[in-house]
Amino acid sequence: MAGEIVYADLRHPRDGSSPAEKHPTPASCPRWHGVFLKVSGLGHLVLLVLVVVLSVQVFQGFPQPAATGGPQQGGETQGRNGTEEGVMASLLRYFCEPRGESPAACAGCKLCPQEWQLHGNRCYWLSKSSGKWAQGKKSCENRESQLVVLQDTKEKEYIKKMTQGSMQPVWIGLSSHKKWSWVDNTSLDTKTFGALQEMDGGCGTLKDEALEVDGCDGDHQWVCQKDPFQLSPSTAGGGERCNASF
């Protein structure tokens, strides 16, 4: 047996491989992978629906053409007008309610800015600081007003009350350039206020109830005046016009 030759069945791997070994069977797809694909498809569908809905809402939010938007704009305008009328009615009831039987009962229909005082048909403001006449004039203009232009003796009396009877003069809207005139370019009524000394470059003051002449570089407080804001016509309860001079 020692001399026996043993033959082995040798085969090359390429030649001896079976078809199954050459083309292995692919592994089966996991079940969860299919479920994921279905859920993903459903999510895309939901997103598409949301995009369509939002697009419709945005389109509806755009302003309508003028031809079709007329009635809506008219309704909005009427609504705003109704609101404004309601606010104005409330203001009239609050400020214009008659207070007593005096002619001054309707004065509440006229409003003055804060720190201004209402008297008759005008609002008045006394400065807290002092300065030259030109400084007072500019200060009043910055407040959309002017230095006071006296019209009668009653107005002089009221200015005296504003200054609390101080003997210090206050600047008024009177100046002289060869003749005396007010800041509204009207001439001084000498019959009402008396004649003043003629001088070039002088300015007028009110001290107590007397008009005086001073150099325009003097240092005084000043009084500004402006028209009030009229909420409604000044009428009394019976339909009569209110007498604003009081």
Does residue 162 register a pLDDT over 70?
Answer: yes
Looking at residue 176, its pLDDT comes to 92
Give alpha helix (H) positions in the chain: 13-16, 19-22, 31-61, 66-95, 133-142, 153-162, 190-193
Does residue 225 register a pLDDT over 90?
Answer: yes
* pLDDT one-digit tens code per residue, 168-180: 999 999 999 888 9
Question: Which run of H or E residues covers position 45?
Answer: helix 31-61
Looking at residue 29, its pLDDT comes to 58
Please state the rounded mean pLDDT for residues 62-85.
Answer: 59
**Which of the pair, 168 or 31, is modelled with greater confidence?**
168
> Count of CB atoms within 10 A of residue 155's CB?
19
**CA–CA gap between residue 182 and residue 135 (Å, rounded):** 16
**Which of the pair, 17 or 205, is modelled with greater confidence?**
205
Walk me through the domains of the chain, giving residue ranges and CATH numbers. Answer: 112-228 (3.10.100.10)
56-70, 82-96, 136-150, 227-241: segment of lowest average pLDDT: 56-70
Sign (positive or negative) of CA dihedral 42, 43, 48, 53: positive
175 forms beta bridges with: 181, 203
Rounded to 5°, angle at Cα 225 from 224 and 228: 140
CA 231 to chain centroid: 19
Looking at residue 35, its pLDDT comes to 67
Does residue 87 register a pLDDT over 80?
Answer: no
201: CB partners within 8 A, 6+ apart: 176, 177, 215, 216
Q: Do strands 221-226 and 170-177 pair parallel, antiparallel, or not at all (unpaired)?
A: parallel
Which of 41-55, 78-92, 163-177 is predicted most confidently? Answer: 163-177
* pLDDT one-digit tens code per residue, 109-147: 888 999 999 998 899 999 999 999 999 999 999 999 999
Looking at residue 218, its pLDDT comes to 95
**Which of the pair, 49 or 171, is modelled with greater confidence?**
171
Local confidence band at 72 (pLDDT 50, 70, 90 cut-offs):
low
Rounded to 5°, angle at Cα 73 from 68 and 74: 110
- Residue type at 15? D
Does residue 25 register a pLDDT over 90?
Answer: no
Does residue 2 register a pLDDT over 70?
Answer: no
**Which of the pair, 21 or 90, is modelled with greater confidence?**
90
Please state the rounded mean pLDDT for residues 183-200.
Answer: 89
- Share the mean pLDDT of the chain: 74
Report whether 173 contacts 203 (CB < 8 A).
Answer: no
Report whether 246 contacts 120 (CB < 8 A).
Answer: yes
